[in-house]
């Protein structure tokens, strides 16, 4: 018995919601070099390095 061809799945369209908000790192960090972010059960550390880069670690 021959089955009809299966329909190909197309990629889901990207969300049509507005772009995510932009928050300046100076505002986010509040003058600090490090902050803690609680996400669900996890704790993350966001810090500014000596070379002025952002590092997020768990």
Q: Mind listing the pLDDT tens digit for each residue in 13-49?
A: 666 679 999 999 999 999 999 999 999 999 999 999 9
- pLDDT surpasses 90 at 12: no
The answer to whether the predicted template modeling score (pTM) of the entire model surpasses 0.75 is no
What DSSP assignment string belongs to 8-44? PPPPPPPP-SPPPP---HHHHHTT-SEEEEEETTEEE
| Confidence band for 5, pLDDT divided at 50, 70 and 90 | low
pLDDT at 17: 78
Task: Judge whether 55 and 46 are in contact, CB under 8 Å.
Answer: yes
């Amino acid at each position: 018995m021959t089955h009809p061809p299966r329909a190909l799945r197309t990629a889901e369209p990207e969300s049509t919601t507005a772009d995510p908000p932009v928050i300046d790192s100076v505002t986010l960090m509040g003058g600090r070099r490090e902050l803690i972010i609680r996400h669900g059960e996890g704790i993350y550390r966001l810090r500014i390095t000596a070379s002025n880069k952002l590092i997020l670690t768990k």
